[in-house]
Chain A
């Protein structure tokens, strides 16, 4: 099973709301990633978790807060977002070795009003 699942598929939130995105994989992968993608642009890396520890934070604003409760689950907590944060948020996972490819989830389409 090479599936990464993400919920919800779509999310509309106001600038004062708090919401969370969820990502799950059951492939035994030990690295998980959050990306932000604007239309017709490549994904931009936000965070990397390796063995449930945050290993890379690409200078993401603090209104985005990642969490990795266990090796299969990755959350992204959202608070006080701006309209320019509207985008497709992709989760990915990969095996331990550097050569292992990343498997992407279908994404959550976020709209901030």
Chain B
């Protein structure tokens, strides 16, 4: 069975600085997808970024980028130029290629942004 681990329950960053959230996963599959979701307090969960395992190039979405290390089974999220609106719970998630769309989530990292 696949597992996802986020080892940082809480992180803090100064506004305009850069922060990296860690995620590791365990799988025996070669084809899969990885996602970072953001859930602000009392607000909707939204997708931040996704990565296909077969792609070597790291995904980037504006200020958000990932460092995907397939051999190490690591998928960290870097947030550049942090903004107050980035404060949220961040979940790393794994999706198998062939298991009916089931997402396996990590325990989450709560990010606070200091002005």
Contacts and interface: CB of A to CB of B under 8 A. Distances in A.
Interface of A: 31, 33, 40-43, 45, 48, 50, 55-56, 90, 94, 98-99, 101-107
B75 interface: no
Contacts, number: 52
Contacts of B35: 101
Interface of B: 33, 35, 37, 43-47, 50, 52, 89, 91, 95-98, 100-103, 105-108, 110
A11 to B, nearest CB: 16
Nearest to B106: A42
B35 to A, nearest CB: 6
A31 B101 contact: yes
B101 A103 contact: no
Contact of B103 (A41, A55, A99, A102): A102
